[in-house]
Structure 1
């Protein structure tokens, strides 16, 4: 039994961008590529081989393995791969068409929150025998990294609708899911996913000898209670900082793993003209008022590190642009400038957050934003982290706090995904210079040489203050002494490697 606190808001890889759902995808679905344990480079999984076939890095070809089977019993074909990628575009196009159609009532319009930006550069995808050929609109050396994650999940085209989410779980990954229920908030009922090793799996990953049951808890308190009560063997969810501090690292009855995380926490603001935060100077003032050290110390109890960069420590392109820019400015001067422009203080804004473990942090952020009399904040709790961008898109929020876990092991996952005009964060920012620089980074094959470009992108982002980093995480996992493989459970590319867990 593995206990977690993330929510699974959809079983369909095209329907959501939430970390809880993607934890499942890496176990029940298979992609052409994956990130193998101990590596940061994509390796063939459902594919026998993959590679760019041109010097411009715009044509990518993969040859599918023979003998792959879905849990439905059907053979996996190149046509299934084509279908799985094309439906992202079909759903995104449907959303846009219905958004512009006044004959459809607003509440009846199709809503799509899938990670379209990860595959938006696929101009065309086609099958050629056992090969799948991707034609990209622009050079993109990060494309293999992208399809090695959840967005590359291969679906059975006979089990999924092309133009709307489908709550099936038919894949060809290392596990088959035999039972699923998410946490029910109304009844406070724990959910679970029962996973059994898939005997038909063929690919780069080892096939586990052990079935796994994921238990979904509604709160960190419930997770801790389950751990202390012996309900679960592995505590892999978001623990309260106090619970982390209480762990006895020398307890011979447990295994303990602590690693530097690559996830960040950020404040995301809208630039919609109907929001006060459409004013860049107010966004910048909000960024200046956030005291990261106080949050890391007083709420997170030093279980995280203050962050002044969207790209974390340890990743190419890391810097301190949000410190470099804002530490030089006076809050009093910034307030005077805002008032001189005719803005009356305090400015009323609505701030969203999700998950009970984040409530104390959200309350402290409210105190910090209100401390100088600049803002009057209404705090709103969302059902799930994935619901927050949609709420902001519907103009129910002016800003929200959210965690971001990388999709793949490249700095592009922190810039393009967070700052692009079609970002799943739904902030609405369009910045031509940043977009050009991001495209330039995707033409650099030697990723270590792109650091300066990424730092330049982040400085522009700091000036816009639409996405503002607050902290970088550390990952804590504890388990019964009989369980091994904890150090490989979560990787830098966001995969949840249940197949690495063993009992002895």
Structure 2
């Protein structure tokens, strides 16, 4: 009997293992590119945020519809004067190694990003926190930052002034917490698999640059019982055409971005598996304000006016984008964007004015050669836009235009590290639904998005004034005035207001379009 019993137990064990393997749900997710880093304090692009939002959870977070909901904090209160937030952490919050999530973790993390030694390019995003700017400039110690642990489960954040969009700021990846012991033990290597300790729905299992990032379900996550996907495989699908083929072959469950010129074909072939939806995003060209001839506002304005945005939107983006003549996209409640003063002109009139401006500046036919290099990150749509604009500048302005493309990681590293360039493709997705987040791109000294190093004291002063204005209508008026200053200078060239582009398989459940374009894997289930 003992042999039979042993045999039956062995069979049962094998069946259990087999059933467990079959039950494991894997979500194959195309992510448009490789992250430069998984250090939340060094990130700036959405392909990084998509991964970090799965690994880490801030005080507040987004639900599947892109709405702010409690995250690591189960509740919060705001003082009557609007300057002190008090967050109550979940008693069952844990890190992936089993350590409890404590208020001190958030204090450590905010102090780290504001510490000038960290050199976080996004630190200025959190300047609304009391003393943040002074700490970041080295004028005060990190311990003087307005973030403190009242007790193990209570985080208090004091602001410089009432900030209507502060909860939105806390959804940004730079506000995510870090496991202090791991960061201090491993230094910059804390982001490696095996070292990375997370408090979100998933933990980091593998990171193979250029191939995949593997996340596995975190059993210590406070809401692990409702996380239905066991493994998330992120793939850097910069080659959009290849990504479409992988999706159609069933290798990808979702993919972020696809060749925009294939939109009609894909819609016919895949039906409602093709998802295009408005969101807070703009395509623009950064232009080097510190380099001749682009330091001349006449040249910048001529380049902007020579671009036929209707052609870009209709012929290249197949209607999944609209022409942009402002820095701030539409859709922000209570704010009407300022527009470039040539927005109402016909394209022919714009081109005539562009020729006059370039001649006045001494360039183009009859003047000095106008040589321009357009840099862009590898993407079919970006290539086609760059090629079209190069042709427009050649035809209208007599420019000699060359193109240079690199992968997304190299492209943005070059721009953020102040590498030399003439004109460079850039995109900005709103970190929060407030015009200030887009105006932020033009602030002097902003290394995150002001790649062209535009600088105008009047612009800086107006943005600063809007931050200190409590009346919503007056604040909106000041921000619009600031935007008009930047557009008059043409410190950067707005091109298109984008839609988000996704391929989502019918077998995917829990995916919902939203203007923030946030899709956390914890809400996804796969019907195999």
Q: Smaller-chain TM-score range?
A: 0.7 to 0.9
The answer for the alignment partner of 2:169 in structure 1 is 146
- Taking the aligned partners of 2:490 and 2:419, their CA distance within structure 1 comes to 19
SS in 2 for 1:158: helix
Are the counterparts in 1 of residues 310 and 323 from structure 2 also a CA contact under 8 Å?
yes
Are the counterparts in 2 of residues 176 and 198 from structure 1 also a CA contact under 8 Å?
yes
Map residues 223-262 of structure 1 onto 2, 5 A cutoff: 223-234=243-254, 236-248=255-267, 255-262=273-280
- Taking the aligned partners of 1:247 and 1:378, their CA distance within structure 2 comes to 31
Map residues 349-388 of structure 1 onto 2, 5 A cutoff: 349-357=372-380, 358-373=382-397, 375-384=399-408, 387-388=411-412
Tell me the CA shift for residue 450 of structure 1.
Answer: 4.6
Structure 2 residue 44 is the aligned partner of structure 1 residue 17: yes
Are the counterparts in 1 of residues 282 and 429 from structure 2 also a CA contact under 8 Å?
yes
The answer for the alignment partner of 2:241 in structure 1 is 221
Are the counterparts in 1 of residues 442 and 455 from structure 2 also a CA contact under 8 Å?
no
Consecutive unaligned residues of structure 1, counting only runs of 5 or more, are 96-111, 184-190
Map residues 305-316 of structure 1 onto 2, 5 A cutoff: 305-316=322-333
Deviates more, 1:20-29 or 1:451-460: 451-460
- Taking the aligned partners of 1:342 and 1:205, their CA distance within structure 2 comes to 68
- Could you say if the C-alpha distance between residues 375 and 113 of structure 1 is closer, same or farther in structure 2, counting changes exceeding 3 Å? farther
The Cα offsets for residues 95-127 of structure 1, whole Å up to 9 and x where unpaired, read as 8xxxxxxxxxxxxxxxx5632221234321232
- Taking the aligned partners of 1:372 and 1:28, their CA distance within structure 2 comes to 49
Tell me the CA shift for residue 34 of structure 1.
Answer: 1.4
- Taking the aligned partners of 2:350 and 2:274, their CA distance within structure 1 comes to 43
Are the counterparts in 1 of residues 326 and 340 from structure 2 also a CA contact under 8 Å?
yes
- Could you say if the C-alpha distance between residues 341 and 230 of structure 1 is closer, same or farther in structure 2, counting changes exceeding 3 Å? closer
Tell me the CA shift for residue 27 of structure 1.
Answer: 1.0
- Taking the aligned partners of 1:204 and 1:196, their CA distance within structure 2 comes to 11
- Taking the aligned partners of 1:417 and 1:503, their CA distance within structure 2 comes to 38
Map residues 369-408 of structure 1 onto 2, 5 A cutoff: 369-373=393-397, 375-384=399-408, 387-388=411-412, 390-391=414-415, 393-408=417-432
Hey, which of these two has a bigger chunk of helix by percent?
A: 2
Tell me the CA shift for residue 12 of structure 1.
Answer: 0.9
- Taking the aligned partners of 2:239 and 2:453, their CA distance within structure 1 comes to 31
Structure 2 residue 84 is the aligned partner of structure 1 residue 62: no
The Cα offsets for residues 157-203 of structure 1, whole Å up to 9 and x where unpaired, read as 112259858524422112222222232xxxxxxx2222233232226
Q: Where in structure 1 do 4 or more consecutive aligned residues deviate above 6 Å?
A: none
- Could you say if the C-alpha distance between residues 213 and 131 of structure 1 is closer, same or farther in structure 2, counting changes exceeding 3 Å? same
Partner residue of 1:115 out of 117, 122, 125: 122
Are the counterparts in 2 of residues 349 and 398 from structure 1 also a CA contact under 8 Å?
yes
- Taking the aligned partners of 1:165 and 1:61, their CA distance within structure 2 comes to 32
- Taking the aligned partners of 1:350 and 1:163, their CA distance within structure 2 comes to 38
- Could you say if the C-alpha distance between residues 434 and 138 of structure 1 is closer, same or farther in structure 2, counting changes exceeding 3 Å? farther
The Cα offsets for residues 135-162 of structure 1, whole Å up to 9 and x where unpaired, read as 3345422222111221111110112259
SS in 2 for 1:428: coil
- Could you say if the C-alpha distance between residues 395 and 255 of structure 1 is closer, same or farther in structure 2, counting changes exceeding 3 Å? closer
Partner residue of 1:293 out of 310, 320, 341: 310
TM-score, scaled to structure 1: 0.84
The answer for the alignment partner of 2:490 in structure 1 is 465
- Taking the aligned partners of 2:120 and 2:256, their CA distance within structure 1 comes to 24
- Taking the aligned partners of 1:455 and 1:444, their CA distance within structure 2 comes to 13
SS in 1 for 2:512: helix
Are the counterparts in 2 of residues 46 and 68 from structure 1 also a CA contact under 8 Å?
yes
The answer for the alignment partner of 1:265 in structure 2 is 283
The answer for the alignment partner of 1:49 in structure 2 is 75
Map residues 60-139 of structure 1 onto 2, 5 A cutoff: 60-90=85-115, 93-94=116-117, 112=119, 114-122=121-129, 123=131, 124=145, 125-129=147-151, 130-139=153-162
- Could you say if the C-alpha distance between residues 288 and 8 of structure 1 is closer, same or farther in structure 2, counting changes exceeding 3 Å? same
The answer for the alignment partner of 1:196 in structure 2 is 216
- Taking the aligned partners of 1:86 and 1:164, their CA distance within structure 2 comes to 16
- Could you say if the C-alpha distance between residues 366 and 334 of structure 1 is closer, same or farther in structure 2, counting changes exceeding 3 Å? closer
Larger Rg: 2
Q: How many residues align?
A: 472
SS in 2 for 1:314: coil
Tell me the CA shift for residue 313 of structure 1.
Answer: 2.5
Consecutive unaligned residues of structure 2, counting only runs of 5 or more, are 1-27, 132-144
TM-score, scaled to structure 2: 0.80
Tell me the CA shift for residue 260 of structure 1.
Answer: 1.8
What is the Cα-based RMSD across aligned positions, in Å?
A: 3.0
